Structure 1
Amino acid sequence: MPTKTLQIPTTDGQADAFAAFPDRGEQHPGVLLYTDAFGVRPELEERARELAGHGYYVLVPNLYYRHGPAPVVELPEHIGEEVRPAVIARLMPLVETHTTERILRDADAYLGFLTAQPEVGAGPAAAIGYCMGAALAMRTAAAHPDQVAAVAGFHPGFLVTDAPDSPHRLVPELTAQVHLGLSGNDMSSEAVGELNQALDAAGVGYTTEIYPGTIHGFTMSDTDAFNPSALQRHWDRLLPLLGRTLTHN
């Protein structure tokens, strides 16, 4: 599986990124993969490789590139519960500087770069994300409805907030099909209801599903939250979504 480390030109500098794609010398649909708060690391690189093995060009940008190349914060091989609070404490200043304005500027750059790669075919891309990356994927799709045909978010965060530009308020702009795979503690039932109501009102094709027996972070095998059956369910939902929405040569 070919992989590359790339530099994406942005209005604020150069974003380092990991890319994986099939080794078949042809063009493939593009997938922009937004990481969780822990960022680009072997776990996400392996996720990209596995997805690329199904016929996609997968681009995983370092969301914190303004602060340095990945990993901006040194991470243990396994992010167990005993070290998680300290790691999160180091990451929170980076998360808090990642404003909506920056997210949207970066989304422009990431999508433009992805679709310009010689291994990426014509046609729409997908935006997928984990944890806070789910909200970034939703914002990207809402800002680029002509370029993003699928959105998937897993153990999402920050989809329903009190902010005027909360992602759930942006769904009228979506043309993408959406799948959200939640754990039982990702969002309150009221927030899930509010999100579903917004998606229904906008006429968006979507599924929101609570994956049984999971906690936040269930797809990540380098954390204590990992749930192998839920990771498989994630693939069982994600691959059909991409298969029916993206153009395969």
Structure 2
Amino acid sequence: MAEQDLQLTVPDGTVDAVLITPEDGKPLPGILFIPDIWSLRDTMREMARRLAGEGYTVLMPNPFYRTSRPPVFQFPREGADPASISKRIGELIAPLTPEALAKDLAVYLDTLTSQATTAKGKIGAVGFCIGGGIALRAAALRPELVAAAASFHGGGLYRANDPASPHLVLPTVKARLYFGHATDDKSMDADTIAELTKALKQWSGRFESEIYEGAHHGWTVPDAPAYNQPQAERAYAKLTELFREALA
């Protein structure tokens, strides 16, 4: 695979991004890959490379560019004060309003589909942590383009009485959806998962929502404290199955 660091011009600034393409330049289906809250780093690059190796052109942007270029945390995760982490998370997500994300996603999707190595036709989107909701918004923004979207340990996907809750975009979505939830996740507890499932059942589309037993928030990411390799591999198999079937 060939890998290129990009700087994308968006209405509100400049976004660091990574584009991973086939060495031979053969057009392949496109995937928008939204990282977790720790954003662009070696682990996320490795995850994006692995997915690209399945036969995709992958674009991974830093969604938190309004606050920081990578690294978006100026301190190591290991041994960090939880209060400091929470404070930084708040700073990173505060600018990500639905309106702001729509502007960003339009550029991300246009960039991905304009590549010579991206095949014409449907694309997929996947997000981790807060990226799960962003991937869902991508499917809503371009319903005729995004055929599949997946979220793993997505946080805040259903927020009652919040006009910015990601689940509210469902009526616009035509993509096939997959949600992988942790057993223990403060950002999506059992009651919230149940409410999201109700909303999905009221939606007319095709979806799958699963709880990964013994998994905690971040279980799919190798550098996360909660990394659970067996369940991460199961999640990866679900993701590749989704894209293989929806983007065929």
1:217 matched to which residue of 2?
Answer: 218
Q: Shift of the alpha carbon at 1:74? A: 2.7
Worse overlay, 128-137 or 163-172: 163-172
Q: TM-score, normalised by structure 1?
A: 0.93
Structure 2 CA distance for aligned equivalents of residues 69 and 116 of structure 1: 24
1:35-54 Cα offsets, whole Å, 9 max, x none, are: 11111111100001000110
Q: Give the 3 Å change call, closer, same or farther, for CA 40–192 of structure 1 in structure 2.
A: same
Residue 183 of structure 2 aligns to a residue whose secondary structure is: coil
Q: Which runs of 5+ in 2 are unaligned?
A: none
Worse overlay, 66-75 or 221-230: 66-75
Residue 171 of structure 1 aligns to a residue whose secondary structure is: helix
Q: Give the 3 Å change call, closer, same or farther, for CA 89–68 of structure 1 in structure 2.
A: closer
Q: Give the 3 Å change call, closer, same or farther, for CA 216–7 of structure 1 in structure 2.
A: same
Residue 211 of structure 1 aligns to a residue whose secondary structure is: strand
Q: Does 1:191 align with 2:192?
A: yes
Q: Does 1:240 align with 2:238?
A: no
Contact persistence 1:21–1:49 (CA under 8 A): no
Structure 2 CA distance for aligned equivalents of residues 73 and 212 of structure 1: 29
Q: Which runs of 4+ in 1 moved over 3 A?
A: none
Q: Shift of the alpha carbon at 1:229? A: 0.5
Aligned residues: 244
Q: TM-score, normalised by structure 2?
A: 0.93
1:173 matched to which residue of 2?
Answer: 172
Q: Give the 3 Å change call, closer, same or farther, for CA 67–230 of structure 1 in structure 2.
A: same
Contact persistence 1:130–1:155 (CA under 8 A): yes
Contact persistence 2:67–2:91 (CA under 8 A): no
Q: Give the 3 Å change call, closer, same or farther, for CA 89–197 of structure 1 in structure 2.
A: same
1:2-151 → structure 2 map (5 Å cutoff): 2-76=2-76, 79-80=77-78, 82-83=79-80, 85=82, 86-151=84-149
Structure 1 CA distance for aligned equivalents of residues 75 and 126 of structure 2: 23
Contact persistence 2:183–2:213 (CA under 8 A): yes
Residue 16 of structure 2 aligns to a residue whose secondary structure is: strand
Structure 2 CA distance for aligned equivalents of residues 165 and 211 of structure 1: 27
Q: Which runs of 5+ in 1 are unaligned?
A: none
Q: Give the 3 Å change call, closer, same or farther, for CA 148–17 of structure 1 in structure 2.
A: same
Contact persistence 1:75–1:87 (CA under 8 A): no
Contact persistence 1:21–1:55 (CA under 8 A): no
